[in-house]
Structure 1
Amino acid sequence: MSPIKVLDSAIQNKIAAGEVVERPSSVVKELAENSIDAHATQVEVFIEESGMKQIRIVDNGDGIHHTDGPLLFQRHATSKIDTDYDLFQIRSLGFRGEALASIGAVAKVTVETKHTAGNPVFIRFEGGNLVEQIPGKERQGTDITITDLFFNTPARLKYMRSMRTESGKIIDIIQRMALANPGISFRLVLDGQEKIMTKGNGNLKEVISDIYGLNVARHAVEIEAHDADFDIRGYAIRPEINRSNRNYLNISVNRRFIKNFMLSQSIVNAYHTLLPKDKYPIVVIDIKMDPKLVDVNVHPSKIEVRFSKERELNKLLESAVSSHIKDEMLIPDVSREKPRRQERPTQEALDFTAERAAPPQAEPSVQEAPRTREDQSTKSDYRVAPERTVLKETQARKPESSAPPKRRDTPSSVPHTHPGEKEREKLPYLEIVGQLHGTYIILQNDTGMYMMDQHAAQERIKYEYYSENIVQGETDGIPLLIPYTFEFPMNDIIAIDDRLKRLRSLGFEIEKTGIRQYAVTRYPNWIDERDPEADIDELIHFVSSKEDFSVNQYKEEMAIMMSCKRSIKANHYLDRPQIEALLESLRACRSPYTCPHGRPVIIHMSTYEIERMFNRIMK
Structure 2
Amino acid sequence: MPIIRRLPENLVNRIAAGEVVERPASALKELMENSIDAGAGQISVRLSDGGLDAIEVTDDGCGMAPDQMALALERHATSKLPDEAIELVTTLGFRGEALPSIASVARFSIESRPRGAAEGWRRVVDHGEVVEDAPAALPPGTRIRVDNLFAKIPARRKFLRSGRSEYAACLDVVRRLAMARPEVGFVLEHDGRRVLSVQPGQSGPARVAQIVARELAEDGVIIDLERGPARLTGVAGLPTFNRGVADHQYLFVNGRPVKDRLLVGAVRGAYADMLARDRHAVLALFLDVPPEEVDVNVHPAKTEVRFRDPAFIRGFIVSGLRHALEGAGQKTAQTPAAPAMAAWTSGIGQVEPIAPAPAPALSSLFARQYAPTPNRVSEAGAAWRGYEAQVMAPAQDLPMGRAEAAQEAAPEAVRHPLGVARGQVAHTYIIAEAQDGLVIVDQHAAHERIVLERLKAAGAGDKVAAAQALLLPEVIELDEPSCDRLEEAIPTLAQHGLALERFGATAMLARSVPAALGKGDVQALVRDVADDLAANGDALLLGERLDLVLATMACHGSVRAGRALNVAEMNALLREMEVTPRSGQCNHGRPTWVKLAHGDIEKLFGRK
- TM-score, normalising length from structure 1? 0.74
Match of 1:570 in 2: 561
Q: Counterparts of 2:159 and 2:498 in 1: how far apart (Å)?
A: 58
Please tell me whether the aligned partners of residues 471 and 556 of structure 1 are also in contact (alpha carbons under 8 angstroms). Answer: no
Pick aligned residue for 1:557 from 548, 557, 560: 548
1:469-618 alignment to 2 at 5 Å?
Answer: 469-470=458-459, 472-473=461-462, 540-541=518-519, 549=528, 550-617=541-608
Is residue 43–residue 59 contact of structure 1 (8 Å, CA) maintained in 2?
yes
What residue is the counterpart of 1:463 in the other structure? Answer: 452
Alignment of 1:72-111 (within 5 A): 72-85=72-85, 87-111=86-110
Give the structure 1 partner of residue 152 of structure 2.
Answer: 152
2:273 touches 2:551 (CA, 8 Å); kept in 1? Answer: no
Deviates more, 1:19-28 or 1:220-229: 220-229
CA distance in 1, matches of 2:313, 2:65: 40
Output the CA distance in 2 between the equivalents of 1:562 and 1:58.
58
> Is the 2:420–2:574 contact (alpha carbons within 8 Å) kept by the matching residues of 1?
no
Counterpart CA distance in 2 for 1:611 and 1:52 is: 53
Contact 1:114 1:139 in 2 (8 A): yes
Instruction: Pick closer, same or farther for the CA change 1:466–1:523 going to 2, 3 Å.
Output: farther
Q: Which residue of 1 aligns with 2:111?
A: 112
Do the aligned partners of residues 551 and 15 (structure 1) sit closer, same or farther apart at CA in structure 2, a change above 3 Å counting?
A: closer
Does the 8 Å CA contact 1:332/1:602 hold for their aligned counterparts? no
Question: 1:77 & 1:605 partners in 2: Cα distance?
Answer: 62
Percent identical among aligned pairs is 30
The 1:219/1:331 distance shift into structure 2, 3 A limit, reads closer
Asked whether the equivalents of residues 49 and 164 of structure 2 are also in contact (C-alpha less than 8 Å), the reply is no
After superposition, give the CA deviation of every residue in 1:469-520 in whole Å (9 maximum; x if it has no partner).
Answer: 34654669899xxxxxx9xxxxxx999998xx999988899xxxxxxxxxxx
Instruction: Look up the match of 1:371.
Output: none
Shift in alpha-carbon separation, 1:551–1:71, aligned structure 2, 3 A: closer
How far off its partner does 1:36 sit?
Answer: 0.3
**Do 2:412 and 2:420's aligned partners in 1 also have CA atoms closer than 8 Å?**
no
In structure 1, what is the Cα distance between the partners aligned to 2:244 and 2:441? 25
SS at match of 2:333: coil
Aligned to 1:227: 227
The CA deviation at 1:14 is 0.6
Offset, 1:312: 2.1
Query: Would the alpha carbon gap of residues 110 and 309 (structure 1) be closer, same or farther in structure 2, given more than 3 Å must change?
Result: same
1:460 counterpart letter in structure 2: R
Q: CA deviation at 1:443?
A: 0.7
Q: Which amino acid aligns with 1:59?
A: D
Counterparts of 1:82 and 1:2, CA distance in 2: 40
Q: Which residue does the alignment assign to 2:130? A: 130
Partner of 1:346: none
Indicate how the Cα distance of structure 1 residues 296 and 505 shifts in structure 2: closer, same or farther if over 3 A, else same. Answer: closer
Give the aligned partner of residue 167 of structure 1: 167
1:284-332 alpha-carbon deviations (Å, 9 max, x no partner): 2222232222211110001111122332222222222221221114233
Which structure has greater helix proportion? Answer: 2
Q: Distance in 2 between matches of 1:476 and 1:463?
A: 16
Alignment-derived partner of residue 290 in structure 1: 290
Name the CA shift for 1:221/1:360 in 2 (closer, same or farther; >3 Å).
farther
Moved more, 48-57 or 583-592: 583-592
1:462 Cα deviation after fit: 1.7
How far does the alpha carbon of each residue in 1:61-108 deviate from its partner, in whole angstroms, 9 at most, with x for none?
0011122232232111111114322x1111111111110100010000
Q: Which has the larger radius of gyration?
A: 2
- CA drift of 1:226 comes to 1.7
**Do the aligned residues in 2 keep the contact of 1:277 with 1:598 (CA within 8 Å)?**
no
CA contact (8 A) 1:477 1:508 kept: no
The AA in structure 1 aligned to 2:90 is R
Contact 1:274 1:596 in 2 (8 A): yes
- Secondary structure of the 2:25 match is helix
Match of 2:264 in 1: 264
Structure 1: unaligned runs, 5 residues or longer? 338-356, 363-392, 398-404, 409-414, 417-427, 480-485, 487-492, 510-521, 528-535
Paired with 2:581 and 2:252, the residues of 1 have a C-alpha distance of 30
Residues in 2 aligned to 1:441 and 1:72: alpha-carbon distance in whole angstroms: 68
Give 1:183's aligned residue.
Answer: 183
Q: Name which of structure 1's ranges 317-326 and 429-438 shifts more when overlaid on structure 2.
A: 317-326
> Counterpart amino acid of 1:103?
I
Gap change, CA 1:359 and 1:35, over 3 Å in 2: farther
Q: CA offsets, 1:94-124, max 9 Å, x none?
A: 1111101000100001111101254410111
Asked if 1:331 is matched to 2:332, the reply is: yes
Report the Cα distance in structure 1 between the residues aligned to 2:156 and 2:467, rounded to whole angstroms: 69
Aligned to 1:279: 279
- For residue 54 of structure 2, what is the aligned residue in structure 1? 54
Q: Within 5 Å, which residues of 2 pair with 1:369-380?
A: none
Residues 435-458 of structure 1, C-alpha deviation per residue, up to 9 Å, x if partnerless? 000011111111111111111122
Q: Aligned partners of 1:471 and 1:57: how far apart in 2?
A: 53
Q: Secondary structure at the match of 1:567?
A: coil
Distance 1:606 1:464 in 2: 29
Is contact 1:471–1:552 with CA below 8 Å preserved after alignment? no
TM-score, structure 2 as length reference: 0.76
Q: 1:3 to 1:266 in 2, by over 3 A?
A: same
Aligned AA for 1:395?
E
Q: Which digits, 9 at most, give the CA deviation of each residue in 1:262-290, with x for residues without a partner?
A: 12222232233332332222222222232
> Residues 193, 285 of structure 1: CA spacing in aligned structure 2 closer, same or farther, 3 A cutoff?
same
- Using the TM superposition, give the Cα deviation of residue 134 of structure 1 relative to its aligned residue in structure 2, in angstroms: 0.7
- In structure 2, runs of 5+ residues without a counterpart are 339-398, 477-489, 500-511, 529-540
Taking a change above 3 Å as real, the CA distance of residues 214 and 98 of structure 1, as seen in their structure-2 partners, is same
Contact kept? 2:188, 2:195, Cα under 8 Å: yes
RMSD: 3.6
Change (3 A) 1:431 1:581: closer
Matched, 1:450 2:449: no
Structure 1 Cα separation of the partners of residues 325 and 94 of structure 2: 37
Measure the CA separation in 2 of the matches of 1:133 and 1:575: 85
Query: What is the CA distance between 1:215 and its match in structure 2?
Result: 2.1
Identify the residue that residue 408 of structure 2 maps to in structure 1: 395
Pair 1:78–1:443, CA change in 2 (3 A): same
The answer to whether structure 1 residue 238 and structure 2 residue 227 are counterparts is: no
Secondary structure of the corresponding residue to residue 247 of structure 2:
helix
**Contact 2:420–2:571 (Cα < 8 Å) also in 1:** no
What amino acid maps onto 1:592 in structure 2?
S
After superposition, what is the alpha-carbon deviation per residue over 1:207-231, rounded to whole angstroms, capped at 9, x for unaligned? Answer: 2233124223332322111233122
Residues 429 and 52 (structure 1 numbering): CA distance in 2 closer, same or farther, change over 3 Å? closer
Paired residue total: 507
Q: Is the contact between residue 331 and residue 604 of structure 1 (CA under 8 Å) also seen in structure 2?
A: no
CA distances 1:545-584 after superposition (whole Å, capped 9, x unpaired): 9855454344323212221112222221112222233333
Aligned twin of 1:401: none
Letter in 2 for 1:49: D
Please tell me whether the aligned partners of residues 496 and 540 of structure 1 are also in contact (alpha carbons under 8 angstroms).
no
Does the 8 Å CA contact 1:495/1:544 hold for their aligned counterparts? no
**Alignment partners' CA distance in 2, 1:292 and 1:508:** 35
Q: Secondary structure at the match of 1:152?
A: coil
Tell whether the 8 Å contact from 1:21 to 1:102 is kept in structure 2 after alignment: yes
Q: What secondary structure does 2:104 align onto?
A: helix
